[in-house]
Structure 1
Amino acid sequence: MTGLRLEGRVIYQLDPATFFDSDGDGSGDLQGVLRHLDHVRAVGADTIWLQPFYVSPYLDGGYDVVDHCGVSARFGTMADFEELVERCHQLGLAVLVELVVQHTSTDHPWFRAARADPASPYRDFYVWAAEPGDDPVVSEPVFPGVEDSIWEYDEVAGMYYRHAFYRHEADLNVGHPAVRAEIGKIIRFWLERGVDGFRVDAVPYMVRQAAVEDGRDDGYWFLTELCAAAGDAPLMGEVDAPPEQYRDYFGAGDRLHAVLDFWVNNLLFLALARGDAEPLRRALHQQPEPPRNGTYVNWLRNHDELDLERLEPNERDEVLATFAPEEEMRAFGRGIRRRLAPMLGDERRIAAAQAVIEALPGVPVVRYGDEIGMGDDLSLPDRAAVRTPMQWSDDENAGFSKARPEFVEPAPIEAGRYAAARVNVADQELRPGSLLSRVSQLVQQRRELGPLPMRRCEAIPFEARSVLGVLHHRDHDAVLMLVNLCPDEVQVQTQYAVQADLLADRTYASAADGEIQLAGYGYRWLRVQPDG
């Protein structure tokens, strides 16, 4: 799938470690992903985003990499990976993998060589200081309360090394030419094995580090180089930054091809908390238009905490009070460590939130388990609460593994409202009107509509403030996507001539006269004449 364009596609994000255990050792693996590609296709996605499967001590979900070009034995072999990619392509699925090069594990051979010998060429691969102090790249630990400093003293090196994230993850000096050469090798290695594109981890930190070494273009030259190394493979960047900076990350289409949009994500949860679409309309109005070959990526929840740093303090407090009223539900003083379903509760509301993601311009993401309304395990530390195994059935270990339960870690959710006995794929596949069936309908309809770029859409206000309206202009018609964010039934009036209902949460009366009914947490997609 060379020359893959993300616009018009739907991404399914999964962690091989928690998707399916094919060999009964208690941990998910690549063969487990391969065996359940039919589920990804049934959901309607045409792209999978694989979280790390590289060689790693696995102290940070595999983001602490020891070998960027190796498959960890816990996940299988390189042959397993190549078989997975081949099968994905046979099914029409593109494959995105993680490019984790802001840091390495401190067990990485580069770091071991760097700490052992000050004359080693690898010493310059990392960021060192004789004494801890202020840093132009990282002002404070990413995980306050877990790490109290960005500096860690290494007794062998006799110096401090910087770590924006955990102390077992040393920051790479990506401004150094030899480091960038190694990154290029990593990119080419995976492209040669059939990978279609990359999700680039921790992008802003790398841009700032590049600027320390070479101040050209405030360090964004690093992304131009990265894009050139990737050729026609798309780069999807993790960019938790203010929206006014997005244009710099896109460049003229020669840097990132897609930006994971934390701005819209944050204001989406503010809108959900208020039952008011205004924050989302504001987000879309203030969001810079991407270049022609660029797009935004939208999601509800991911594998990390729900980071609310883009909100004003009073807005953040409002979202926390609504969706994380107890301290154990919060993380790092800035976010929420819960899955989507426990936050929203009502299955109609969960479906409405999924309808919002599918209605927004850009590329939607469905995270494994959210299509069935999986819950979280708050007894697990930090972000591990939202990283429990996929619930395939009501069998032992949620159908995830045939290992003895004591060997499955983390364990599936077995108690409460979101226990596997109550929430699982097998049950919802057979039940009309289930959350799985509704999400699949939304995803499949979205894909049938094709690309819905931001430059051809507008957010429509209604007198009923709870209704989000997004009008997508196409060549000969337009699609009006409506979602009601409150539990009360509403009626809205549109000036556009309605031609047909494309999708709705239930059967509604005709909207030919421009009067549109929406149930509580209802959604409705209509084909309209944009000129009224």
Structure 2
Amino acid sequence: MSAAPWWKGAVVYHIYVRSFFDSDGDGHGDLKGVAAKLDYIKDLGVDAIWLSPVHPSPNRDWGYDVSDFEGVHPDYGSMADLEALIDAAHGRGLKVMLDEVLSHTSDEHAWFAASRDGGPDGEKASWYVWAEPADDGTAPNNWLSVFGGPAWAYQPARRQHYHHKFLRQQPKLNWRNPDAKEAAISVLDFWLAKGIDGFRLDVAGTFLHDDALTDNPAVPAAQRTRHHWAHASEMQVHLNDSNLPENIPLLDEIRTRVDGHSDRFVFGEFSEEEERCGAYCTPEDGLHSAYTFVLLHARKLNPQIFRDHFETLARHPGHWPCISFCNHDIMRTATRFGGGEAIARLMLALLLSLKGTTLLYQGEELGLPQAQSLTRIEIRDPVGDLYWPISKGRDGSRTPMPWAPGENLGFSSAKPWLPSAPEHRDLTVAAQAADRNSILAFSKALIALRKASPALTRGEIEMLPAEGQVLAFTRTEGAEQVLCLFNMGPEPAVFAQAGLVGEPVGLPGLIQAKAAAGRAELGPYGVAFIRRP
């Protein structure tokens, strides 16, 4: 029997480079800063690091508008710095993954300049999605940008509109053009040759668009929530500007290219429902793995959300998910689910026990809450600028990593690009490393438990019936089975199962359960891992 690939059940530590650690005192995190903290990362017990985009960018969307796919942003260092980081990580047994944004580019990318300035008959004329205006000069169709307004920008040089699913400065590559598609996929080849172990593909469901530019249908009025009204693009069902079935063979082509280099991994971000995630990543088709925003958008401690998610994925045999509760785009877990240390521990335990490859966002191992004290003048995120005051955007999850007490919480000797969060002053790495009952110690113990257990690492998952606020499931691999119990409520709860026996696993800071006579008693927000004979 062949060994499972390294990524199956791995814990991947997601680093937002600009906010991780500043090595040179310019207020921005950098690659040498990541290298300086590799021993900390290794000590966590994780298997890989995923770096947010490191390429040159005008930073309209903080690196997700790439102007050169084969370079390194000078804020982060040089190509030599990245190569040194790869070597240093590999020397510690850590894999290195890059965040690649191949659906669109910056409007300052040379490809777009050639497409814009070369005219409709130029060499790269159709490398981007261009369209004639409507008869009255308005946008070609009703597609809306995720960031607000029409998803089209008029370009006088071509007397046409170009499509942008996000900011106006992020024109959409035309993956239906074979030369543009090959140029985009070749970006992966370039970095694989540098020793990169894999990729996270940004907005992986948006590579293809409907060539006829058919309007998107509206979300029926009766189904609209406050979320739909606050974010106008969510008032459409995105069937024609993204999520086309033709994405599947295209994603399979990407995986085949990555598989041409041994022992590599490629997973994608899908913004829509679980069906996209499951259908676009199977053993036969699509990427190796993926995640959607279902668990990222959840705001209530509701066991049914997690049951439904895995029951949906189970309809796609062989699908291996990525599991993520927060990242650089999403409010931090501890705050989103109600705040407090008990909830932070509960969600860490759940994150590291669900089936899949775990994506652990920097600071999640510290139980960091969302930074909510940012003012309008401190906001750097274009989403925060657009949606203020109903939202501060994404910067609250992007504030600098708190390393030590003192000025800027040990992140930088200079004024940081975003202020250090006052909410994080008592949760620094230094403070928690000295406390054997800290959330950091708890996180390390959870990761160690996972890695020591074939069931928790690679096992299949079966959701079990449970009463009230209890989420119950088993993870099974070979002869090992672990029963995982989570009380998602503030009151004591009981999980009952005929013949329930087993020994609860003890962890520092874990609220213990009592299991006997077919019952397991769980305290408020209690967690239990029970090894079954």
Tell me if both proteins adopt one fold, taking TM over 0.5 as the criterion: yes
Change (3 A) 1:55 1:256: same
User: Which residue of the partner structure matches residue 299 of structure 2?
Assistant: 269
Kept in 1: contact 2:278–2:313 (CA 8 A): no
Structure 2 residue 527 is matched with structure 1 residue 516:
no
Between the aligned partners of 1:216 and 1:163, the Cα distance in structure 2 is 17
Helix, strand or coil: the match of 2:181? helix
User: Which residue of the partner structure matches residue 368 of structure 1?
Assistant: 362
- Structure 2 residue corresponding to 1:471, chosen from 469, 474, 480: 474
- Cα drift, residue 478 of structure 1: 0.8
Helix, strand or coil: the match of 2:515? coil
Kept in 2: contact 1:174–1:210 (CA 8 A): no
Between the aligned partners of 2:211 and 2:287, the Cα distance in structure 1 is 16
Q: TM-score normalized by structure 1?
A: 0.84
User: Which residue of the partner structure matches residue 125 of structure 1?
Assistant: 127
Between the aligned partners of 1:482 and 1:151, the Cα distance in structure 2 is 48
Q: TM-score normalized by structure 2?
A: 0.84
Between the aligned partners of 2:455 and 2:252, the Cα distance in structure 1 is 25
Change (3 A) 1:452 1:253: farther
- Cα drift, residue 495 of structure 1: 2.9
Change (3 A) 1:211 1:129: closer
Change (3 A) 1:22 1:301: same
- Structure 2 residue corresponding to 1:435, chosen from 423, 439, 457: 439
- Of stretches 447-456 and 474-483 in structure 1, the one that deviates more from structure 2 is 447-456
Alignment of 1:464-503 (within 5 A): 465-503=468-506
Kept in 1: contact 2:511–2:523 (CA 8 A): no
Helix, strand or coil: the match of 2:246? helix
Give the partner amino acid of 2:8.
E
- Of stretches 343-352 and 159-168 in structure 1, the one that deviates more from structure 2 is 343-352
Give the partner amino acid of 2:482.
V
User: Which residue of the partner structure matches residue 199 of structure 2?
Assistant: 198
Give the partner amino acid of 2:430.
A
> Over aligned residue pairs, what C-alpha RMSD do you find?
2.5
Give the partner amino acid of 2:480.
D
Give the partner amino acid of 2:253.
E
User: Which residue of the partner structure matches residue 403 of structure 2?
Assistant: 392
Change (3 A) 1:134 1:152: closer
User: Which residue of the partner structure matches residue 318 of structure 1?
Assistant: none
- Cα drift, residue 40 of structure 1: 1.6
- Cα drift, residue 516 of structure 1: 1.6
Change (3 A) 1:193 1:209: farther
Helix, strand or coil: the match of 2:280? helix
- Structure 2 residue corresponding to 1:383, chosen from 373, 381, 394: 394
5+ long unaligned stretches in structure 2: 214-239, 385-392
Between the aligned partners of 2:361 and 2:204, the Cα distance in structure 1 is 21
Helix, strand or coil: the match of 1:105? coil
5+ long unaligned stretches in structure 1: 306-337
Change (3 A) 1:289 1:9: farther
Kept in 2: contact 1:174–1:209 (CA 8 A): no
Between the aligned partners of 1:152 and 1:507, the Cα distance in structure 2 is 54
Structure 2 residue 346 is matched with structure 1 residue 352:
yes
Between the aligned partners of 1:489 and 1:29, the Cα distance in structure 2 is 46
What percent of counterpart residues are identical? 30
Give the partner amino acid of 1:249.
Y
Between the aligned partners of 1:287 and 1:86, the Cα distance in structure 2 is 36
* Aligned pairs, number: 476
Change (3 A) 1:105 1:9: same
Between the aligned partners of 1:112 and 1:510, the Cα distance in structure 2 is 66
Structure 2 residue 295 is matched with structure 1 residue 301:
no
- Cα drift, residue 229 of structure 1: 1.6
The one-character-per-residue Cα deviations of 1:41-97 (angstroms, maximum 9, x if unpaired) are 222211111100101111212010000010111101111111111111111111111
User: Which residue of the partner structure matches residue 98 of structure 1?
Assistant: 99
The one-character-per-residue Cα deviations of 1:160-207 (angstroms, maximum 9, x if unpaired) are 111000001000001111012112321111001111111011111114
Give the partner amino acid of 2:332.
R
Kept in 1: contact 2:12–2:50 (CA 8 A): yes
